Amino acid sequence: MITRKRLAAGACALLAVLTAGAALPAPAAADETADRPAPQVELVLDVSGSMRTKDIDGGTRMAAAKQAFNEVLDATPEDVELGIRTLGAEYPGDDRKTGCKDTEQLYPVGPLDRTEAKTAVATLVPTGWTPIGPALQAAAGDFGDGEGGSRRIVLISDGEDTCQPLDPCEVAREIAARGIGLTIDTLGLVPSTKLRQQLSCIAEATGGTYTSVEHTDELTDRVNELVDRAADPVVTPVAVEGAGTCAKAPGLESGLYTDRVGFAQDRWYRVDVPAGQELRVSASVSADRAVDPGYGVLLRAVTTHGREIVRGEATGTGRTDVVSTGLRYPKAEADGDDDAKPAAETVCVQVSHSFSAASGVQSTPGLPLELTVDVVDGPDGAGDVASFGLGRGWWLLGVLVLVGFVAGLLWGWLSRWRVAVWRTN
């Protein structure tokens, strides 16, 4: 036991030393963000009567929403200003005109007092109508007129808007037309085609995303992700059109790009990677329409001659959501003492997916693709990473395996010796 403890302690200490440098804060990055306006997020929650339904992890939809909100409030970054608005929380009657005015700001957008916000959420009881359009109109005004950072509304609902003819999609388009940089993300708590269509329309109008969730942990994770995304610097992606082959592919530099990739279609791009640099690529394909369950995304880096260098792949779960994957390829330094600058290697990047359109759904245009490309300084021993996939850390793994093997032999021999002595006595 002493040997195992010492071995574990030594391994942990070594890993801590190896990762300590990466964990240190970057003063330059802090200086760059110090003067940036605070990002703002407002969570808009449906508190209509249907939220009493018990179909999420054995509890009500309202209970799942409250649990998710509490966990999100605990995890909200300090620099994010957060607010909460409700719809359908006050009026239990049958008068439609009154029910369609039932939206109020439960907690104002601003510095977050977690205890106060949680207390406000705890008082909510499923009550009335589903005035999504009026709630979005009011939420757009909750951010004020000042110059702020990124602005995001996260709408969570289990039903369609009940206040027609005010179309929530038209409300979202009107908000987008104001040019105030407000993004609306939507989450549906019921796998309903009509709800998905309405919430997808709202999200697409403002450049947001729609997600269908059926479990509390899914709701928590997705809302946390969207709140964290609001804190990221706003980057405008560049539209690009990938080619059907590497030879005709457009050249990309470090940046964020958008494209469309059709069903059963590949998209190719070319990136020049100098010696000693590392290529990092991530790809996200989102299903902006109904798709069949079971799908994946494949991202490959190959040479201009077609030899695969490295790949990344991810599998979807059947939800209408985004599937992302990534890859890293470090280009080793050139050998020799030649002072001439070595030529960069052209790497072909291929993106493909296995989505299939549901019956009756149009297959064109292709699905939205977001591509992030970074060419950065490579790590020491880039050649080792390319060869082994573990960099210089491969020897540590080898040592641990060898030590474990020897320890196993010794333990087996010792056990057999003890048994033999016991039988002799």
pLDDT digits (tens, 9 = 90+) for 167-192: 898 899 888 877 777 889 999 998 88
Residue 184 contacts residue 136 (beta carbons within 8 Å):
yes
Give the pLDDT confidence score for residue 68 in this predicted structure: 94
What's the Rg (C-alpha) of the chain? 27
Domains of the chain: 38-231 (3.40.50.410), 238-334+341-386 (2.60.120.380)
The Cα–Cα gap between 424 and 331 comes to 63
pLDDT at 388 over 80: no
Share of the chain above pLDDT 90, in %: 44
Contact in structure between 149 and 38 (CB atoms under 8 Å): yes
What mean pLDDT, rounded, does the chain reach? Answer: 81
Tell whether the model's pLDDT for residue 271 goes beyond 90.
yes
Residues 6+ apart with CB under 8 A from 175: 136, 137, 140, 182, 184, 205, 206
Per-residue confidence (pLDDT) for residue 389, from 0 to 100 = 41
Of the ranges 74-88, 270-284, 298-312, 395-409, which one carries the lowest mean pLDDT score?
395-409
Q: Is the pLDDT of residue 33 over 70?
A: no
The Cβ-side half-sphere exposure at 72, using a 13 Å CA radius, reads 30
* Residue 21: band (very low, low, confident or very high) from pLDDT cuts 50, 70, 90: very low
What's the pLDDT tens digit per position in 319-364?
546 788 888 898 877 655 555 556 789 999 999 998 888 788 888 8
Residue with tokens 């790590």: 379
Task: Give the number of other Cβ atoms within 10 Å of residue 245's Cβ.
Answer: 11
Across residues 240-269, what is the average pLDDT? Answer: 93
Please tell me which residue, 70 or 344, carries the higher pLDDT value.
70
Record the tokens describing residue 139, joined without a space. 């939420």
pLDDT (0 to 100) of residue 318: 61
The three-state DSSP-derived secondary structure of the chain is: CHHHHHHHHHHHHHHHHHHHHHHCCCHHHHHHHHCCCCCEEEEEEECEHHHHCEEECCEEHHHHHHHHHHHHHHHCCCCCEEEEEEECCCCCCCCHHHHCCCEEEEEEEECCCHHHHHHHHHCCCCCECCCHHHHHHHHHHCCCCCCCCCEEEEEEECCCCCCCCCCHHHHHHHHHHCCCCEEEEEEECCCCHHHHHHHHHHHHHCCCCEEECCCHHHHHHHHHHHHHHHHCCCCCCEECCCECCCCCCCEECCEEEEEEECCCCEEEEEEEECCCEEEEEEEEEECCCCECCCCEEEEEEECCCCCEEEEEEEECCCCCCEEEEEEEEECCCCCCCCCCCCCCEEEEEEEEECCCECCCCCCCCCEEEEEEEEEEECCCCHHHHHHHCCHHHHHHHHHHHHHHHHHHHHHHHHHHHHHHHHHHC
CA dist., res. 20 & res. 187, Å (int)? 38
The predicted pLDDT at position 148 comes to 57
pLDDT at 30 over 50: no
pLDDT of 392 reads 44
For residue 267, give the nearest of 298, 305, 296 by alpha carbon. Answer: 298
Beta bridge partners of 83: 42
Pick the residue with more confidence: 308 or 207?
308
**What is the average per-residue pLDDT within 398-420?**
78
Least confident of 34-43, 269-278, 313-322: 313-322
Q: How far is CA 54 from CA 59, 215, 410, in A?
A: 5, 12, 57
Q: Is the pLDDT of residue 15 over 60?
A: no
Mean pLDDT of the 276-304 span: 87
Contact 156, 130 (CB under 8 A): no
In terms of Cα–Cα distance, which of 237, 297, 241 is closest to 268?
241
Q: What is residue 387's predicted lDDT score, i.e. its pLDDT? A: 39
Check residues 386 and 129 and name the one with the higher pLDDT: 129
Closest CA to 184 of 209, 164, 218, 161: 209
**pLDDT per residue as tens digits for the range 222-251:** 999 989 888 776 666 788 999 999 999 999
The residue type found at 329 is Y
How high is the pLDDT of residue 348? 96
